[in-house]
Amino acid sequence: MNPAWEALSRVADEPAWYWVYDVLGFSPSTYSHAWPGFREPEPSVTWDLSPGGLDRSSAEFRLGPYAVDEAQVAGISLQALRDCVEPDEWVWALHWQHQSYRFWPHRVGEDQGWPVPVFPKGDYHLFLAQDFRFGTLGHPWERSLCVFGEGLIDAVSRHGDGVLKTVLRRNGTALV
């Protein structure tokens, strides 16, 4: 078993899911008029992972390619999480309607798979500090990654420079 991941029971992950639904107002949707489907905390930055130039409500957008590579986003996120947690500290790794985990960023090897990816390809994925001071929420239909909490935003910005290029929103306010 991978020492970076500990599967959680539905009871054990309840505090995190209650926070996601209560504080973020999480309301998943495939309909573009309902996006982002949660309250983006302050501070937050939401990056566009789509290729751009497409109508977000079109099938071409939903089925088309991404503008960034999944492995690059994983690497950026891993380095950013490591910057924000102590070596023995874990974060919540939540996969909507699937298995959730405790994840220790400092324990994961470079070539090890992630049972819950940061990259939102096909489902909602969240990584949250134990005390919810920072986190990520990957939106599969909007093709975006919301990062919140000052330290994590700074770390993702630093490690993602040149890869994460287009900001959709800051603090929930649209920029494009």
User: In terms of residue numbers, what domain contains 94?
Assistant: 5-26+41-174
pLDDT, tens only, 113-127: 889 988 888 889 999
Q: Where are the alpha helices (DSSP H) in 53-145?
A: 59-63, 70-84
Distance (Å, whole) CA 172 – CA 163: 21
The reply to whether 32 falls in a domain is no
The reply to whether 33 falls in a domain is no
pLDDT, tens only, 98-112: 899 999 999 998 778
Residue 16 carries which side chain, given as an amino acid letter? Answer: A
The reply to whether 36 falls in a domain is no
Give the pLDDT confidence score for residue 143 in this predicted structure: 87
Task: Report the number of distinct structural domains present in the chain.
Answer: 1
Query: Chain-wide mean pLDDT for the chain?
Result: 88
Distance (Å, whole) CA 29 – CA 142: 9
- The residue assigned the tokens 């986190």 is 135
Give the pLDDT confidence score for residue 162 in this predicted structure: 87
